[in-house]
Structure formats: structure tokens, C-alpha cells
Structure 1
Amino acid sequence: MPQTTEVDSETLKRREWRMFIFLAVFLAPILAIAIVGGYGFSVWFFQMIYGPPTH
């Protein structure tokens, strides 16, 4: 006979808080650094091939 597990509201709240903390403290800063770093790398690489911008 299969067991059914019900998630009570306290467990659900705890899980939501953990996910929020993970997103706010870890994932968002890592993504921001990766996006800005990737953009900077692409500009650097572009300028390495085609030279710096001129007037």
C-alpha cells in the first residue's frame, strides 16, 4: 500500500524561505557577476580583434 505524504504549511513555509535565501544570497549575485563578467569579456575580446573605439 503506497504511503501518501502531505506537506503541512509549516514545512512549506520553511522550504519557501530556504529557496528565497538561496535565490537572494547565492544565485542572484552569482548570475549578476557572470553576466557582467561575460559582457566585459566579450567587449575585451571584440576590442582585441578590431581595436579600441575611435572618434
Structure 2
Amino acid sequence: MWNPFAKVPSDTSPSSRKEELRSFVFLSVVIAPILAVMIVASYGFAIWFYQILTGPPGS
């Protein structure tokens, strides 16, 4: 039977800490900026496309 309060063995070996650091650096240096640029670009594209369909503001 599954026990949610059972102790989970902690794997804090140097290799797992190194992999965790490598993953964190990859996510924060590579993925986060790419994701931010993609979000801003898609928002700009959505506004641009909306203005193509409805015309510029104030017209």
C-alpha cells in the first residue's frame, strides 16, 4: 500500500547536483529568454493581424 508519509531516499550525490545545476542554467539562460521573446512576438503578431482586419486605431 502506498504511504504518502514514507521517507523518500534523498539522492544528493554530486552527479545529481551537477545535473540539477546544469538543468537550472539551461532553463534560465536558454529557455526563459527564448520563451519571453516568443510571447512578446506572438502578442505583437496578434495586434498586427487584428489591425489588418479592423484597420488602424482611430479610423
Whether the TM-score (by the shorter chain) exceeds 0.5 is: yes
Distance across 1 between alignment mates of 2:28 and 2:55: 38
Structure-1-length-normalised TM-score = 0.80
TM-score, normalisation: structure 2: 0.75
Identity of aligned residues (%): 47
Runs of 4+ in 1 over 2 A off after TM superposition: none
Alpha-carbon distance in 2 for matches of 1:17, 1:35:
26
Q: Structure 2: which 5+ runs fail to align? A: 1-10
Instruction: Tell me how many residue pairs correspond in the alignment.
Output: 49
Between the aligned partners of 2:13 and 2:24, the Cα distance in structure 1 is 16
Q: Which has the higher helix share?
A: 1
Is 1:36 aligned to 2:48, yes or no?
Answer: no
